Amino acid sequence: MPVPSLDNLRRHALARTLFTPTTLPRALARLGFVQADPIRAPARAQDLTLRQRVQGYRAGDLERRYPRLAIEEDYFVNYGFVTRALQALMHPRTPREAWPKARWTQAHAVLDFVRERGVVHPREVDARFAHGKVTNWFGGSSNASTQLLDGMHYRGLLRVARREGGIRLYAARAATPAPADAAAAMDALVDAVVAKYAPLPERSLTQLASQLRGGVPHWAALRGAALARARRRLPNAEVDGQRWFWPAGENPASRRHGVDERVRLLAPFDPVVWDRRRFELFWGWAYRFEAYTPAPKRQRGYYALPLLWSEQVVGWANLTWADGVLQPEMGYVAGRAPRSAAFRAALDDELARMSDFLTGR
């Protein structure tokens, strides 16, 4: 296999993840994992990710169809939606924080209540048990029942049955047998990471393997060996001083990796742009997610969506959806938009697609 150039790697990255739009179940199976985020600007990250890969996708389709899909909400390298096959590799999960006996007593009482009811809203649990209030991660006050349910979900006692108004409703989750070979399961998890985000610079592969501690905290001692095995078995090459890795059977230098001339507005957690290290290597400028950055310090806006034109990310857009009208604020790396008529037409097409996605047309 010839050593790929950086241009080859960029085209490979785009072609393999921006596949021809398909059905929602097929897209989810191909992605394996879709990162979730609650911010809606103008739609949630998971919807913005799927609209590029699912034919006729509309904002909210994932939440509406979730009960009928073979996926689960769970933690992988981040929180999001995983296939059940991927989830099975991560359970039974033993968190790093051990619960005391009193906490387990509460959990078992809630689990019995959930089994009796079938599906419960957190407020039903709070009304039944009156667990009180606790300080949350942001220093504010939350219902202790909500925190307990989160912990039970993470430990695999509960699953998210569906959402109502963005609130998770829970059902009891059947116990998952432990994988027969923990090392093989770790290799499969690393392969899932690579399949989602390849081609990967070596430092990004290391970072993502480290982030598996969220999905499989009980296998912390196995991550180093799994990463070492991945480095030995995955195809790789050194390109411009960086070692890159990709899945077996793929050829980044293939001439088949063409990129069509269209504009795409991408979610901040889209596989194309998630790896900020790779982003800068591919496109020569730093993209940062600034929703949690104080407004005076933002460079590109609250929820800037990278703007991909053909195979180049040439700028970004902040979109406002008000009274059924899409209001875009554009920014460009070069200080101005590309001057070609083809770009202007492609941008108009993407904004029209975005409006249809938001209105449900």
Say what percent of the chain tops pLDDT 70: 96
pLDDT higher than 60, residue 137: no
Read off the pLDDT of each residue in 324-340 and give the average, rounded to a whole number: 96
- Residue 342 or residue 140, greater confidence: 342
In a domain, 308, yes or no: yes
In a domain, 145, yes or no: yes
Read off the pLDDT of each residue in 140-150 and give the average, rounded to a whole number: 79
pLDDT band at 130 (very low <50, low <70, confident <90, very high): confident
Predicted pLDDT at 141:
44
Predicted pLDDT at 142:
57
In a domain, 184, yes or no: no
Total number of domains constituting the chain: 2
In a domain, 24, yes or no: no
Read off the pLDDT of each residue in 149-163 and give the average, rounded to a whole number: 97
Say what percent of the chain tops pLDDT 90: 92
Query: 24: which residues sit within 8 A by CB, 6+ positions away?
Result: 50, 54, 57, 61, 62, 65, 69
Q: What's the CATH code of the domain at 115?
A: 1.10.10.10
Paired residues of 231 in beta bridges: none
pLDDT in tens, 68-114: 999 999 999 999 999 999 999 999 999 999 999 999 999 999 999 99
Read off the pLDDT of each residue in 180-189 and give the average, rounded to a whole number: 98
Predicted pLDDT at 52:
97
Read off the pLDDT of each residue in 41-62 and give the average, rounded to a whole number: 97
In a domain, 115, yes or no: yes
Rounded Cα distance between 69 and 82, Å, is: 11
Segments forming the whole domain that contains residue 279 = 263-359
In a domain, 215, yes or no: no
In a domain, 134, yes or no: yes
Of 151, 172, 193, the residue at which a domain comes to its end is: 172
Cβ-in-10-Å burial (0-12, 13-18, 19+) of 273 comes to buried
pLDDT band at 2 (very low <50, low <70, confident <90, very high): confident
Predicted pLDDT at 100:
96
Predicted pLDDT at 150:
96
- SS3 assignment, position 161: strand
In a domain, 316, yes or no: yes
Of 157, 172, 187, the residue at which a domain comes to its end is: 172
Of 172, 201, 234, the residue at which a domain comes to its end is: 172
pLDDT in tens, 215-251: 999 999 999 999 999 999 999 999 999 999 999 999 9
Cα–Cα separations (whole angstroms), residue 99 to 102, 227, 352: 8, 30, 51
Predicted pLDDT at 134:
54
Measured from the Cβ of residue 61, the count of other Cβ atoms closer than 10 Å reads 18
pLDDT band at 131 (very low <50, low <70, confident <90, very high): low
Predicted pLDDT at 143:
75
